[in-house]
Structure formats: structure tokens, C-alpha cells
Amino acid sequence: MPSVVGLLEQRELCARRHVDELREEADRVQAELAVAEREWQEWVIARSRVGEVLGPVDVSEDHARNERTVPAQGQAEEASPASRVAKPNSQVPMWREGLDASVLSVDYQRILQALADRHRLRQGPLTCQEMAVLFGLDAVPSKVEALRLKSKRLVARGWLAERQPGRFTLA
């Protein structure tokens, strides 16, 4: 007759093997997920680059961009887009006929401009993660959630529409 301790050791060994198998499977799935997410991000970047290339060229905007990237001697370089953050509690007025986007802070104007470009190119709605990539930000949760908060505020004030959860378009 087998001992109780021997039976317990046998069951413990089986349970440990099962846990090891599951860990290996989880590691494999995590590695596949990382590769798939990286590939997805590359496609998002590629699509945004093609949209930039195919969009109309604004000579004054290109000139201003070139001047920002090459500062004059003795001048400090202008802040990166990621550091131009709207002040907390910045006011977003309710949209009404004739109200221009220039009343909004720079971050809100960028969101509206990105969605206007998508509309002009007849592309669909934009997610906050896609916006982060489009703006040159890291698609980390803190940046994506900051964009989501701003986009939701623009929806609440009538500037944007959210016909599908998490997908924003012009109102």
C-alpha cells in the first residue's frame, strides 16, 4: 500500500509540471503578442506617413517646421511636441456656429487638425493610440489616456463625435 506522503508528492509533482507547462505557454503567447503589437504599430506609422505624403503641402508650414528643427546660433531649441502640453484645467468652450478652433489650446487644435486631415483623406475615425503615434508620442498608457481625456472633453463640448467607443471623428 502506497504511503500518504508518497501520494501527495506524486500529486504535487503533477501540479508543478502543469504549472510549468502553463508558464511556458504564457511566455510563448506574450512573445507573440509583443511581435504582433510591434507589427501593428509599424502599420499605424506607415499609414500616417502615407497620409502626410499624400496630403497637400503647406509651404509656410514646411518653412516653419524647418526653422524649428534648425535653431539659429545662440538660440535654445524649441520644445518638442510632447512637451507642449496644455495647461491643466484649460477651458474648452462649447462649439457653436462660427467659433474657430483657434480658441482652443495647442493640444486640442492638434487633435482637431488630425481628424480634419483624416476626414479630408476620406479615412475613418481615429483612436487615441493612433493619435499618439501620429503626434510622435510613445503609445504608453499615460499618453494615450491623456489624449482620450482631451478627446472626450471635445466630444462633450460638441467639437468631436464618438460614434463607436474609443473612435473619434469630427462632429
**pLDDT greater than 90 at residue 37:** no
What letter would DSSP give residue 159?
A: S
38-42, 56-60, 90-94, 157-161: least confident range? 56-60
CATH fold of 92-171: Arc Repressor Mutant, subunit A (1.10.10)
Task: Specify the pLDDT at position 66.
Answer: 52
Integer Cα distance of 94 and 162 in angstroms: 16
Q: What is the mean pLDDT of residues 4-21?
A: 94
Render pLDDT for 67-94 as a digit per residue (tens, 0 to 9).
444 444 444 444 444 334 444 456 788 8
Q: What is the pTM of this model?
A: 0.47
How high does pLDDT run on average in the chain? Answer: 80
Q: What is the mean pLDDT of residues 126-130?
A: 90
Domain-wise residue ranges, the chain: 1-55, 92-171
What would the 3-class secondary structure string for 85-138 be? CCCCCCCCCCCCCCCCHHHCCHHHHHHHHHHHHHHHCCCCCECHHHHHHHCCCC
Backbone angles phi, psi at 99, to 5 degrees: -80, 125
Render pLDDT for 145-168 as a digit per residue (tens, 0 to 9).
989 999 999 999 899 999 888 899
